[in-house]
């Protein structure tokens, strides 16, 4: 195996173990001599490199390599994040085929997302599609990225390390998409990308130094539980439309 291939596998978090593989018989030995070899000699352990720890520096180095969005998404699909082993599916982003300058960053994958591998599926997905349709948008024009690509056990709040190991992928996808507006669905994504409290700044336009404006909004799951909040979201969506029309 070439060194650069081995390096890529280690950086991707591939687990290496001590394997018991039979050594290749020496065909030059006489049959009697070959028969006298012990089982231990015929099954010598092959020592392979230990598992490389997945660190934030490792992930940051990885995300610098892809030059296109498809390669980056494939890297996400293959990445050995600590949450991957407990998730049913990797929940990959929805990348707009006809982008209009809007990207949605949503909170953790739901049970429906985990089962289907599709971000914002189930009832929350249906409501999202209706919200977008109300302002003449759809998943063809709006990209949707989960803050984490793997559901946490039982849907618990992710720890700092779990978020940090996912954020470089999210940020790189945003950089490649170059949006004008980033909508954050939910408390967690709003905290991470706008550093504010969602309940205090819902619908506000938060200017960033990254070339896009963040607009925090309630997550569709919250709207299902509290339909009265839909009015606030509708107002925020209309303000976003006005923002997009401004040069």
> Is residue 103 helix, strand or coil?
strand
pLDDT, tens digit (0-9, with 9 covering 90-100), for 83-135: 999 999 999 999 999 999 999 999 999 999 999 999 999 999 999 999 999 99
Q: For 6-15, 43-52, 58-67, 110-119, which range has the lowest pLDDT when averaged over its residues?
A: 6-15
Domains of the chain in sequence order:
3-46 (no CATH), 56-245 (3.40.470.10)
Q: Are 190 and 198 in contact (CB under 8 A)?
A: yes
Average pLDDT of the residues in 182-195: 94
d(CA 174, CA 172): 5
pLDDT tens-digit readout, 130-174:
999 999 999 999 999 999 999 999 999 999 999 999 999 999 999
Summarize pLDDT for 2-38 with one digit per residue, the tens.
Answer: 444 444 444 444 444 434 444 444 444 445 445 444 4
Q: What share of the chain is helix, strand, coil (3-state, %, to 5)?
A: 45, 10, 40
Distances, alpha carbon 113 to alpha carbons 79, 87, 159, 204, in Å: 18, 10, 20, 28
Question: 3-state class of 106 per DSSP?
Answer: strand
């Amino acid at each position: 195996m070439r060194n650069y291939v081995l390096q890529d596998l280690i950086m991707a978090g591939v687990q290496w173990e001590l394997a018991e593989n039979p050594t290749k018989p020496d065909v030059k030995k006489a049959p009697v001599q070959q028969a006298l070899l012990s089982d231990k000699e015929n099954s010598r352990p092959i020592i392979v490199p230990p598992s490389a720890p997945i660190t934030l520096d490792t992930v940051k180095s990885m995300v610098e390599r892809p030059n296109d969005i498809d390669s980056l998404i494939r890297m996400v699909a293959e990445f050995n994040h600590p949450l991957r082993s407990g998730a049913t599916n990797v929940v990959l982003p929805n990348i707009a085929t006809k982008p209009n300058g809007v990207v949605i960053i949503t909170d953790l994958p739901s049970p429906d997302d985990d089962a289907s591998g599709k971000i914002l599926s189930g009832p929350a997905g249906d409501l999202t599609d209706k919200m977008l349709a109300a302002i003449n948008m759809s998943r063809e024009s709006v990209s949707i990225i989960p803050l984490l690509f793997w559901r946490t056990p039982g849907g618990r709040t992710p720890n700092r390390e779990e978020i940090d190991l996912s954020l470089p992928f999210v940020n790189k996808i945003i950089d490649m998409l170059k949006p004008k507006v980033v909508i954050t669905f939910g408390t967690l994504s709003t905290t991470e990308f706008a550093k504010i409290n969602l309940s205090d700044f819902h619908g506000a336009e938060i200017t960033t130094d990254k070339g896009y404006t963040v607009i925090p909004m309630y997550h569709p799951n919250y709207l299902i539980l509290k339909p009265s909040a839909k009015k606030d979201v509708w107002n925020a969506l209309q303000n976003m439309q006005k923002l997009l029309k401004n040069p």
